[in-house]
Amino acid sequence: MVHFKHSGKRCKTRHALAKSARQRGFPSVNKMTQQFKDGQKVHIKIDPSVHHGMPHRRMHGKTGHVIGKRGGSYLVSVTEIDATKTIIAHPAHLSPQK
């Protein structure tokens, strides 16, 4: 039998995108409807229970700044090793930097 390598958006994320027992379930309404201003710094923390607007798993744990809004999601500019990338992320996957 031939085994194919899986390469979807959520491959190899069994532990990276797992919630603890007390955090399981859908997030609160406040988390889903939070507002951000342009230029505000945000942390990208993927919530696995919200599938829409989910950034790539490589961006989990990164910090960027909001550069705009597109629909219900936000455009976030993140600097990787030597490049600046723009990510579209739902507010459920973002948290403000304190």
Would you kindly state where each structural domain of the chain is located, as residue ranges?
29-96
> CA-to-CA distance for 6 and 47, rounded, in angstroms?
22
Span 12-64, pLDDT tens digits: 888 888 999 999 999 999 999 999 999 999 999 999 999 999 999 899 999 99
Reported pTM = 0.87
pLDDT value for 9: 80
The residue among 76, 32, 77, 68 whose CA lies nearest residue 50 is: 32
Span 62-89, pLDDT tens digits: 999 999 999 999 999 999 889 999 999 9
Domain boundaries 29-96, corresponding CATH code: 2.30.30.70
Cβ partners under 8 Å of residue 60, min gap 6: 16, 17, 44, 45, 46
